[in-house]
Structure 1
Amino acid sequence: MQTAYYILVLLLFLFSVLPKIPSQHWIFRVPDFGKIQVTIIAAFVFFSAFLIQDKIPHFWYYQAFLLFLLIYHSLILIKYTPLYKINKHKPGKNSSEKIHFISANVYQFNKDYQRFIHLINDCKPEMFLTMESNGSWENALTVLEKDYPFHHKVTLENTYGMHFYSKIKIEQSTTHFFVADDIPTIEAHLKTDDGYKFVFFGVHPPPPSPTEEETSKERDGDLLSTAKRVRQIEKPVIVVGDFNNVAWSKSSILFRKTSELIDPRIGRALVSTFHAKYRLFRFPIDLMFHSEEIFIEDLKTLDNFGSDHLPVFCEFFIDHKNDEQESQIETADFQEKAEAEEMILEGKKESSEREKIATED
């Protein structure tokens, strides 16, 4: 027990310190994903240690350190719970009708197409976005096109294909390849039947990991390029997708400040999505951000349909004349803007060895 205590304290220290090191190598970026688990384990180790207190020299020094870690991580995570109070907003006379969307990383090698189709038919969102959708998924989803006559398809076999389907009219849509010619971002301009215009971005940058990209350079460059593009748009904006990032990471905060968008998880819930099969090792990496004219009514995960990600469901409305969310917007200062530009350039320079046609390991 004594040895286990020392090992756990050391691991908790490493997982807390490594994300603070300004390197984009996966060794330093991946530990940020586990902040929820680090907090839970820190609490478990802290309270369990009292059972072996007499066997641990300098016991209170270790406990004080664990208590510091527990408080530090909790203060960050509490923002993503209902305990962190934010103002709730109700639709007014200038509001649009309620709009719903589903965002889902379908997992390219998941062949259970019908479960996802049932999910869409049951929830009946006005829009849905699929990621990792290849030609087989595109063929399977054609049965939904009678209900979703507007779509934008980027069919790839490298696990970065994306498909956007909508009942709301798409007036214009574009595929961006901000940092690499095989990593798309969808930009769709929509107009509702009641005359409200908004822009939907679908993103899915590559993750830093020992099995995929060695660094987060492409991910960060892609997301910050999207943030810059958002700032050029004068309509309400939603950015949705598998960010392969967590909301509290430095690059996510820089994305939020650069884009001047709002994180709807704050004051609501973590909405953890990956890995769908392992509840105790689940991270909130399927994110969304929105402009101040968009008001979130509901944000939650839905049941697993066979993917390694849980789908995300959102209900929102648009109100151009309500400025009550303006105080939630943070802007990047000069140094942060320069840092964002540097990360975009690094992302574009980064070379990758991704296969054009991915195979399941």
Structure 2
Amino acid sequence: MPIIYYILISLLFIFTALPKIPSQHWIFRVPDFGKIQVTYISLFTFIFGFFIKDSVDYFWYFQGFLLALFVYHGIILIKYTPLYPVKKHKRNSHSSKKIHFISANVYQFNKEFDRFIDLINRNKPEMFLTMESDSHWEKALQVLEKDYPYHHKVTLENTYGMHFYSKIKIEDSKTHYFVADDIPSIEAHMKTDDGFEFVFFGVHPPPPSPTEEETSKERDGDLLSTGKRVIEIEKPVIVVGDFNNVAWSKSSILFRKTSELIDPRIGRAFVSTFHAKYRLFRFPIDLMFHSEDVFIEELKTLENFGSDHLPVYCEFFIDHKNDEQEERIETADSEEKQEAEEMIQEGKKEDGERDAVVTES
């Protein structure tokens, strides 16, 4: 039993220390995804230690270390729970109507099209975004085009296709390829029936992992390029998608600061989405950020429809006259802006090895 205790302590130390190393290799970036699990396991190991204390050398040193780990991770994570105080806001006469959207990584090889279509029909969002949607998904989703007459489609077979459908008028839209010609982002300029304008961004950068990208350079460069574009826009902005990143990572925080957007998970919940089938090993990598005049009323996951990601459901409104969220905006200093620019250039130089057509392994 002491061996298990020592192994757990060693793994917890490794998973805590690796993200602190300033390298973009996946070995150092992936452990950040498991911060929630590391926190729980730290507490479990701490409690477990009392049952075997008589057979553990330097027991109180190890217990002190575990307690320090739990407190360290807990201080970071508590921001993404209802325990962290964030003021709630209500709609008033100056606000837009409530707007709803669904963001879903559908998993390109998931052929349960009807389950997703049923999810859309039951929840009736004004907009929805799909990621990893290929030509098969595009064909299947045509049945929804009567209800969603506005759309922007980027059909790819490399697991990076994106489709955006809307009941709200799309006045203008474009596809960005910020760091690679096979990794799209969607920018859609919207106008509601009650006269409110906003910009919707859909993003899906590649993940750092042993099976995909060796480093996080393209992911970070793509996200920070989006942030650079966002800061140029004077309308309300929402950025949504499978970020393949967690909100507390260095690059996510840098994105939030350089874009001057707000993370709605703060004071609300983790909203973990991946992997849909494994609750204990689920990470919050489908993220969302918004400008100060966008107010989130609800943010949650919906039921699984056959994908490896749970869909994200959001309800929000726009209010130009309410400036109470200004205090939640963090801005980047000159050093952080320089670092972001360097990461963008590194992302553009990185040559990701992706096939034009990907088949399920």
- For the criterion TM > 0.5, the same-fold answer is yes
Shift of 1:353: 1.1
1:295 aligns with 2:295: yes
Q: Distance in 2 between matches of 1:141 and 1:284?
A: 26
Q: How many residues align?
A: 361
Amino acid at match of 1:19: P
**Aligned positions of 1:121-160 closer than 5 A:** 121-160=121-160
Q: Distance in 2 between matches of 1:168 and 1:221?
A: 30
Q: Deviations over 1:240-283 (max 9, x none)?
A: 00000000000000000000000000000000000000000000
Residue aligned with 2:7, SS:
helix
Amino acid at match of 1:68: A
Q: Distance in 2 between matches of 1:2 and 1:170?
A: 61
Amino acid at match of 2:120: I
Shift of 1:236: 0.1
**Aligned positions of 1:40-79 closer than 5 A:** 40-79=40-79
Amino acid at match of 2:79: K
Q: Deviations over 1:309-333 (max 9, x none)?
A: 0000000000011100000000000
Q: Distance in 1 between matches of 2:45 and 2:269?
A: 25
Match of 2:189 in 1: 189
Match of 2:317 in 1: 317
Q: Distance in 1 between matches of 2:73 and 2:142?
A: 45
Amino acid at match of 1:24: Q
Match of 1:4 in 2: 4
Match of 1:223 in 2: 223
1:281 aligns with 2:286: no
Find runs of 4+ consecutive structure 1 residues off by over 6 angstroms: none
Q: Distance in 2 between matches of 1:269 and 1:58?
A: 37
Q: Distance in 1 between matches of 2:91 and 2:310?
A: 28
Q: Deviations over 1:63-96 (max 9, x none)?
A: 1000000000011111111000100000011100
Match of 1:178 in 2: 178
Match of 1:243 in 2: 243
1:118 aligns with 2:118: yes
Match of 2:101 in 1: 101
Amino acid at match of 1:232: E
Q: Distance in 2 between matches of 1:311 and 1:335?
A: 36
Q: Deviations over 1:14-73 (max 9, x none)?
A: 000100100000000000000000001000000011000010111000010000000000
Q: Deviations over 1:273-303 (max 9, x none)?
A: 0000000000000000000000000000000
Q: Distance in 2 between matches of 1:227 and 1:267?
A: 22
Extract unaligned runs of 5+ from structure 2.
none
Match of 1:204 in 2: 204
Amino acid at match of 2:213: E
Amino acid at match of 2:136: S
**Aligned positions of 1:242-261 closer than 5 A:** 242-261=242-261
Q: Distance in 2 between matches of 1:207 and 1:171?
A: 31
Q: Distance in 1 between matches of 2:147 and 2:233?
A: 29
Q: Distance in 2 between matches of 1:112 and 1:173?
A: 29
Q: Distance in 2 between matches of 1:124 and 1:77?
A: 32
Q: Distance in 1 between matches of 2:66 and 2:40?
A: 11
Residue aligned with 2:287, SS:
strand
Q: Distance in 2 between matches of 1:127 and 1:195?
A: 17
Q: Distance in 1 between matches of 2:353 and 2:94?
A: 50
Residue aligned with 1:186, SS:
strand
Q: Distance in 1 between matches of 2:196 and 2:353?
A: 42
Q: Distance in 2 between matches of 1:352 and 1:24?
A: 14
Shift of 1:352: 1.3
Extract unaligned runs of 5+ from structure 1.
none
Q: Distance in 2 between matches of 1:22 and 1:173?
A: 36
Residue aligned with 1:200, SS:
strand
Match of 2:356 in 1: 356
State TM-score, norm by structure 2.
1.00
Q: Distance in 2 between matches of 1:51 and 1:116?
A: 48
Q: Distance in 2 between matches of 1:266 and 1:171?
A: 31
Q: Deviations over 1:202-233 (max 9, x none)?
A: 00000000000000000000000000000000
